[in-house]
Structures are given as structure tokens and as C-alpha cells.
Structure 1
Amino acid sequence: MSSAETTVAESNTTDEVVAELRRRSSFVFVSHVKPDGDTLGAGLALGLALKQLGKRVAYFQQDPVPRNLRFLPDSEDVTRDVAADLPADTLWVFCDMSDFTRAGEYLPAIPREHMLDIDHHLGNSHFGAFNYVLPTEASTGTCVLRLLHALGVTITPEIATCILTTIMTDTGAFMHTNTTPAVLRMSAEMIELGADKPLITDQIFANKRFAATKLLGMALERAVLDDDGRFCWTYVDEAMLREANADGEDTEEIVQHLRAVDGVECAALFKDYEGAVRVSLRSRGRINVQAAAAMLGGGGHFMASGLTYPERDLRKAVDGVHAALRAQGL
């Protein structure tokens, strides 16, 4: 067993998970709400691989596939509908979520014995009968890559593109500190196997709608520096979305601009629309935003986390998150 697999005692080994994948005939891959390239790319990669082994594969996702991820192979098959004729041994594979509730309210009731949890988040609840949780991995997709190698399947250009998408998403196009030599070697392997890096770069990082650019300008105009310049935050609300003709997908890069401000140690974007205040947190490395988010019912990673504030009150959310960050040493 590798050191990554011994990090969390409750996790199954690669061999145990691979044996279960071989034993089952049918799979449904589950993405979390507000899907990103890691949750979707990881599920699509493993689904494409299991099809090689003659398995039945479906994909469940409550929300539509985001515009910038529709290039991914098999993404056209992602739906919130569940087939009525699923075999009794169907395994539901949850990718990139610390608890199955992150899949949303449309997820049907599933017995725990039919759940596999694949993740790299700190604080994962190990909700499945089978749990493959490797917190030292850069993405859920790199966890999946371990399974692909152990399964002995052919990593096609389509699978390689899905895996590289997960890596580039969760490393911020190789800018974050989780970009280790091992991650770069895995990325090179995927490119050698046919992953379309230019397509990933264009679709996810270099192809923004004009509405998103307008919304970014509005959010930056409202940005606030607190704590002697260590904390930068702003918000997006429904009025701003209407004015920019934007939607929730257009908010994705805003928090990164806040984090990039000179002297800022922690950044927050408050998204006050769709009936809730959701918060995206980013850290430069000193402040543990995962611990801060956990204090308010959220989670994620040391340097990138999120939460939904318990009340829909923007002022209370700003104050509550600020207090949680200060408790972590801001």
C-alpha cells in the first residue's frame, strides 16, 4: 500500500477498489452540484475506462454541464435522470465530494453498500461502503489515474483529456502549490497519451464570455481590503448578474483575482443569489481556509474551500466568515 493510501485509515486500498470495480456490472458516476472539471472529469475518465471492460455506465449530475466543460468526451450523456432498469449490483461512484449530500436533492436514495467514494478532500466523511480517499493527491482525477493503471485499461486520448482536465482545474493550470514533480510527470504522461492540452486551456482558462468580464469588473469595483491588507473580499448579487447579463458560471475566476492582490493572504467571494449566500475562499498558504469553512459547515482544501452560509444575509455572512478566518490566524 502506498503512503497516500495509508494517510486515511478508513480508505480502501487500490487493490480492494479495483476488485470491486471488476465485480460489479453496472455503474453510475455522480458529480457534485455546481460541477467543476475535477468532479466531472474524474467520473468521465473512469466511466470511459469501465466501458472498455464491458460494464454498463451512466452519469448523474443535478446541474447541467457547465459551458466550459462540454468539450469533455461523454459529457453529452450526463443527466439528472436515472434509468429505471439499473441492475441490482449497480455501484454509485461519487467523485470529488466529502459527503454524498453534495450531489444535491435530486439524488435518489442509495443503500450505503452500493456507494464508492473517490476523493482527495481533507475532512471526507467516508460515507461509502468503499472509500478511496487520498488527501495527498492533487485532484480526484489523479486518484482515478491510480485505479486506471491498476485496472490495466488502455488510457485513450479521451480518457487522458479527462484526467488532464482534473489536474489543470485543481492546480489552477499548474499555478497552485499542489503542482508537484509527480503531478507534472502525470500531466506529461497524459499529454503523451493524447490529452488535448490546448483545448483544455482554451475552454477552461482562456475563453471567457463578455458577460463574465463585465461581472468581474463590477465585483472588483466593490472589492474591500481588510485586516491591514491581508484579507480581500467582494460579492456578486442578483442585481449584478442581471446588469451584466451573467449567470453563476461567470463568477468562477473572480476570487482568484482577489487572492492575487499584493499582500493579501486570504480572499473571499460572497455569492448572494439563487436563494443562498455561497462563499468561495482562497489562501496564499498561511491561513487554513478548509478549517475556517468547516467551522461554518463547509469544507475543501487547506488553500481552497467553500461553504453555504446558514442564513441568507450577506452582512452576517461577511462577518461570520471574517470571524472564522481570524480564528485561523488571519
Structure 2
Amino acid sequence: MLSYMQRRYVRFLLYAIVILFVVMAIVSQVNNWWLVFPFFILAGATLVVLIIAEFKLNKQIQQTTNMLASRVQKAEQRAVSEMPLGLLIYNEESQVEWMNAYMRKYFDYEEVIGLTLNNEESDLWRIIQNATTDNTQTIQWNNQYFEVTVNKNERFLYLQDANELEGLVQENEENQIVIGVIFLDNYDEWTQGMDDRRRGALNNIVTSTLGQWARTHAIFLKRMSSERYTVVMRYSTLVELEQNKFAILDVIREKTSKKNIPLTLSIGLAYNDSDLTLLAELSQSSLDLALGRGGDQVVIKQPEAKVRFYGGKTNPMEKRTRVRARVISQALQELISQSDNVVVVGHRFPDMDVIGSCLGIRKIAEMNGKDAYVVVDTEMLNDDVQRLMSEIDKNTDVTRNIISPQKVKNHITKKTLLVVVDTHNPAMVEANELLDMIDQCVIIDHHRRSEHFIEHPNPVLVYIEPYASSTAELITELFEYQPTGTSISAIEATAMLAGIVVDTKNFTLRTGSRTFDAASYLRSLGADTVLVQQFLKENLDTFVKRNRLVETMSFYHDGMAITMGPDDVPYNNVLAAQAADRMLGMEGVEASFVLFRREDDRVGISARSLGEINVQIIMEMLDGGGHLSNAATQIADVSCEEAEVRLKEAIDAYWKGEE
């Protein structure tokens, strides 16, 4: 480069020429024109010197420019070849045209020019195909992390090592705070009536076991009450606990069972948010969900992500009390009294339990002097429900309150109360547009709570008891605490008894002592058991179609039987459920799955088990749900064969989780 002195020298010559010409102009004005010649000669000499200096300077500038260009070119070549940034250029045939040395070290081939990426390096080609042009993304390739930028128009990519950055990201993720709540599901039930010595021994077993578990995994554990603990851990610890499927659930159950006090745990956990207050709320919500599903399980939540479940292997033990039924009944009575009227809905494609439960709520509203409208789509009824509805039609006092989804909208006011029975999933509610039209609702259900829950309108009362056989059983218990003076008709009692009979498979499944108490109460009100059997009769065509399903069943894994109906023949839900029940009665069958084409063109799967296999978890993998021993799902836009493949994948995942 030119020195400062050289640049100043040229500047002084220019100043000298300007001064000479100024002097010449002054001299010429005073008539001493002959003095102009010396100045002219001096200016000419100065100009020559300036031209020579400019020539030398231009030459030096050219030399300096060439030198800089050469050095920059060498630096660029060295940077492209040696800097820790991979460069790759490919052609339209996805063949490598050129790559730098840094990129070459990730290939095992001696000759990489001409290598076809979509044949030899499918992982890298898939990354290129999925990349967004000019957007940098972090990918994993060759067991390492890279930041990749792909220009699809020019067909080249940049690859930069991101292992250190990813390591920091993973370290930050592993150190996230996880907040949780541990709850002893049935502590109060078992310790009620215990003497101090036995209660102390039980507390010692639970506290010492949980304390050892917390110390082993570096978990902060604080007992907040006799049945409640608070836990704080890091995300890396949560990953470790998930890998062993939260074995602490089994440990507590086994240790307490040896003392003939089979306690179970429910755990709610939350993470992935910097707001600890929100995490505390999410952990409590997770615990509520675990308890709503029957307890003995772990529920993990994070904001805007799918909920994860662990455990839930045991049948829920009956632990609801008469006190809770009385409190719920009185709360429902107060809500009805404050409303203008009541709208009652169940799930789509209503069964006996839905119809019986809806009629029960209608009667409770009538006992409190309010009109109640039962929403039923009569075009979506199975044969057994149609027979029930035909019998109900003979009783005009009941029929006048059964209304279609279209007509019920004319009866809605600002103070209408919506009661949803036998479901809590908003997508399954009959005429679910009512959820947006009514300001408050009550939910009464006996299914295990799922992550999909009615949040709008505001649920002012939630009564979910997975320990009950049916929703009709829960509502029957509410009658005892309602105002007297209005009796339940025989057809209403019969409809509710039919709901219990269907959901318990004639009192063989999910039947507790309270179930028989409810059935006995309904029988005393005039419920006709013979009429119930009339409702449940089936025609010859249904009998043959069900037996054909059973006939084609095959085993998949130990004790799991699968059958599938023809893809072009629609089956109704009841027939498929009956086939699943019949398969369960076969020797060697622990769980049964029936795949069938529904009338709405979706593929339905009806699942049943004897209790050892949790079909609810399997169905939840397919966006369904239900009970441990009774669950189902529906899958859209697939064939029966494709649905079977997905079912088998879910079964494989379930067994892998059990190992």
C-alpha cells in the first residue's frame, strides 16, 4: 500500500502548481509580462514531475492491488478447503460435482466426485430434500449434529459443526426444572379405623421407600400432608424415570400389599416452562388427570404438547363414598334451581347408558321444578336403542322432553344449564355446537379421564368416577338426595337399568357392590328386567355377522386376538362390541380387538380385555380411549388392512413398554 508520506508528496506538488499559476496571473496584471516565462517554465517542470509521480503511483497502486487480489484469492481458497465448514455442490442428477476437504472426511469413499447422493447417501439426500432453501436448520447426520443451509436453486449446501452448540442445548434441556405432586390414592380409605401402631407402620413403609427412591435419583421430596408429597427434579432425572417406566409405582404397591394394604400412587409432573407458577398448576392438572383415570399411574404434561402416561396397569378400586354422592347431588340440585332450564346430551351414537342417564337427569330436573330437554339424534341409533325409544314413545310425559339437536336451540337462554353424560371429550358430544351456545355445564361420566376434556363452556361441576360400572349407576345414586314428591316412572327406571346391564355385560365386568345397590333400587321402582332383555334381543342377520367376525379371529402376541370385517361391509358399534365380548370368552384370549368399517366410513376398533392387558393404553396410541378393560377408537381415511397394521404397531409398542 502507498505510504502516508507518498500521498502527502503528491498533494504538495498540486499545491505548488496552483500557487505558481496564481502568481503568474498577478504578474501579468502589472505589465511585467516577461516575468511570466520563468514562472511558466517552473510550472511546466512541476507538472512534469507531477505526471512522473502519478505514473509511479499508479504503477505502485496496480502492483498493490494485484498483490492484495492474489492474497485474497489464496485466503479464499484456503478458507474453502481448510475452514471448519463443509461445502458440497451437486447437479440435477443428484451427483456430487465438488466438495471441500472438510466435507470429504464424512464420506467413506475414496472417489466422491460423481457419487449419486440419493443412492449411496440416502440420509444426506433426505436432509437435502426436506430442507427449506436458504434457511439454516440443525440436523443429525453420521451421529453428529450440524447446522445445514441448502440452496436448492444453485444446488449446493453448507455444513457446519454444531456439536458444541447442541451440547449446550442438551445441557440446558437436561437441567430444566420438573415440578410434581405425588398422591397416595387410597390412603384415607385404608387408614380409616386403623390404630396408631398400624398407621405408623404403614407411613414408615411409604416414607422410607419414597425417601430411598428420591435419594437414588437426586429428587427433592417434601411431604405436605399424610397423603400428598411435592417433588422437584431435573429433566435428566425425569428421562431416567421414564426409561424404567416409573418402577416406584410397582414397588409401593408390592410392599404395601405384603401388609394386606395395597396402596397405590398417582403422580402428576410438569416441565418445559420458565414460569414455576405455571408448572405448579400444570403438575396439579396432571395429578387430577391421573386420579380421573383411576389412579396408580403417572401423567406428564408440558405446555402445548401431547400428554404422556405411565402405569395404569391395575383395575381401579372402588373408593367413592356416599358422602361424595350426597355432595354432588346437592350441588347439582343447586345449579338446576338457579337455571332457567336444563339441556342433557350424551355422546354421539348413543347407547343404553346414554339414554338411561339422560332420562335420569331429566327426572332430577323435574324433581327441582325445571324443564329438561334430552337431545337425541334419532337417525343415529342402534337397533337396541331404537327398541328402547319405541317403548319410551308410549309414555308421552317422557317423550315430550326428547328433542332433536336442531329444535333444542329454540329453548336455550342465558341461564340454561348443559349436562353432559357418559363422555367428557368435546369431540364426542352429541350436537357439540351446544358447547359454544351455553355458558356453563355439568359433566357426569364413568370413563377414565383423557387429555381431551371439555373446557368451554366452564364446567361448574365435574363428577367423573372410573370406579363406577356406568353413568346410569352414578345418576341412580343421586336420586336418594333429591326432593321427594315426584316418582320415577317404570320406563325411566328400566332405561337406567338397561344402561347398567349393557355396560357391565350382565353384571360380569366392572361390577361392585354399589352396582348391585343401584340395580336393586331401580328394580324397586319398577324396572322391568324382562323388558331389558327384549331391548337387547338381536335378529338372525346380526347373529350371523357377529359369528363370522369371531370365526375369522387370529392371535397376535400371547393372548391377543384380532379379527377384521370386510372393508366394503359396514358394521355398527354394538355388533363389533358384542363380537369382542364373545372373543373374550374363548379359551386363551386375554384381550380382543375387532376392526370394522363404520357407517360413517371410518374404521372402528373395539377392544376388550380381562384386566391383565390395558387396552385403554393401546387405544390411546390410536387417538381413542376408554377403560382398562373396555376401549375403542375410530380412524379416518384408512382401509381396514391399514388400520390393522397401525393396531399391531400400537400393540408392539405396548408390549415394549411392559418389558
Give the TM interval when normalised to the shorter protein.
0.7 to 0.9
CA–CA distance in structure 1, aligned partners of residues 573 and 383 of structure 2? 11
- Per the alignment, residue 92 of structure 1 pairs with 418
Tell me the equivalent position of 1:161: 494
Kindly report which structure 2 residues correspond to 1:197-236, keeping only aligned pairs within 5 A, or say none: 197-204=529-536, 207-228=537-558, 230-236=559-565
| Whole-angstrom CA distance in 1 between matches of 2:499 and 2:568 | 32
CA drift at 1:20: 0.9
Task: Kindly provide the amino acid, as one letter, of the partner of residue 258 in structure 1.
Answer: M
Counterpart in 2 of 1:327? 653
> Aligned partners of 2:454, 2:572: CA distance in 1, in Å?
33
TM-score of the pair, normalised by structure 1: 0.86
Structure 2 CA distance for aligned equivalents of residues 155 and 20 of structure 1: 21
Structure 2 letter corresponding to 1:44:
L
Matches of 1:325 and 1:152, distance apart in 2? 49
Kindly report which structure 2 residues correspond to 1:1-330, keeping only aligned pairs within 5 A, or say none: 3-4=319-320, 13-62=328-377, 63-69=379-385, 70-71=387-388, 73=392, 74=398, 77-81=402-406, 82-104=408-430, 107-110=433-436, 113-124=439-450, 125=453, 127=455, 128-153=459-484, 154-176=487-509, 178-204=510-536, 207-228=537-558, 230-237=559-566, 239-241=568-570, 250-273=575-598, 274-309=600-635, 311-329=637-655
- Deviation of the 1:182 alpha carbon: 2.1
8 Å contact kept, 1:5–1:133 = no
- Please list the CA deviations of residues 220-266 of structure 1 after superposition, one character each: whole Å capped at 9, or x if unmatched: 232222224x111112245344xxxx756544411111111111111
User: How many Å separate the matches in 1 of 2:374 and 2:438?
Assistant: 18
Deviation at 1:287, TM superposition (A): 0.8
Deviation, structure 1 residue 22: 2.4
Distance in structure 1 (CA, Å) of the matches to 2:608 and 2:360 = 27
Task: Give 1:16 shift.
Answer: 2.3
Report % sequence identity: 20
- Counterpart contact for 1:215–1:251, Cα < 8 Å: no
- Residues 271 and 97 (structure 1 numbering): CA distance in 2 closer, same or farther, change over 3 Å? same
Shift of 1:304: 0.2
Whose helix fraction is larger, Structure 1's or Structure 2's? 2
Range that drifts further, 64-73 or 267-276: 64-73
Work out the CA distance in 2 between the residues paired with 1:279 and 1:75.
33
SS in 2 for 1:115: strand
- Report the Cα distance in structure 1 between the residues aligned to 2:507 and 2:411, rounded to whole angstroms: 42
Write the distance in 1 (CA, Å) between the matches of 2:580 and 2:468. 23
Assess if the C-alpha contact under 8 Å between 1:280 and 1:307 holds in 2.
Answer: yes
Moved more, 115-124 or 316-325: 316-325
Q: What does the per-residue CA deviation read over 1:13-49, in whole Å, with 9 as the maximum and x for residues that have no partner?
A: 4432332122223111112112111112101121133
- Other structure's SS at 1:71 match: helix
Distance in 1, Cα, partners of 2:463 & 2:353: 15
On the 8 A contact 2:449/2:464 being kept in 1, the answer is: no
User: Which one-letter code corresponds to 2:463 in the other structure?
Assistant: Y
Judge which range, 179-188 or 119-128, deviates more.
119-128
Alpha-carbon shift at residue 160 of structure 1 (Å): 1.9
2:610 & 2:650 partners in 1: Cα distance?
A: 16
Q: Deviations over 1:78-115 (max 9, x none)?
A: 42322424232111111101312202566344257422
Counterpart AA for 1:254: A
Deviations 1:198-237 (A, max 9, x none): 1112212xx1112202212332232222224x11111224
3-state SS of paired residue (1:328):
helix
Q: Distance in 1 between matches of 2:380 and 2:639?
A: 27
For residue 132 of structure 1, what is the amino acid of its counterpart? Y
Q: Give 1:174's aligned amino acid.
A: F
- CA-based RMSD of the aligned residues comes to 2.8
Contact 1:287 1:328 in 2 (8 A): no
Tell me the secondary structure at the aligned position of residue 19 of structure 1: helix
Aligned residue pairs total 318
CA shift in 2, pair 1:261/1:111, >3 Å: same
Distance in 2 of aligned mates of 1:75 and 1:227:
49
SS at match of 1:29: strand
Q: Kindly indicate whether the alpha-carbon contact (under 8 Å) linking 2:603 and 2:640 is maintained by their aligned counterparts in 1.
A: yes
Unaligned runs of 5+ in 2: 1-188, 190-318, 393-397
**Alpha carbons of 1:19 and 1:155: their partners in 2 closer, same or farther (altered >3 Å)?**
same
Helix, strand or coil at the partner of 1:256: helix
> What one-letter code is carried by the residue in structure 1 that aligns with 2:332?
V
Amino acid at match of 2:543: T
Contact in 1 for aligned 2:569/2:597 (Cα 8 Å): no
5+ long unaligned stretches in structure 1: none
Please name the residue that 2:245 is paired with. Answer: none
Taking structure 1 as reference, are residues 75 and 95 closer, same or farther at Cα in structure 2, changes over 3 Å only?
A: farther
**Aligned-partner Cα distance in 2 for 1:22–1:234:** 50
Is the 1:279–1:306 Cα contact (8 Å) retained in structure 2? yes
1:247 and 1:145 map into 2 onto residues whose CA distance is 28
Letter in 2 for 1:187: A
Q: 1:136 to 1:52 in 2, by over 3 A?
A: same
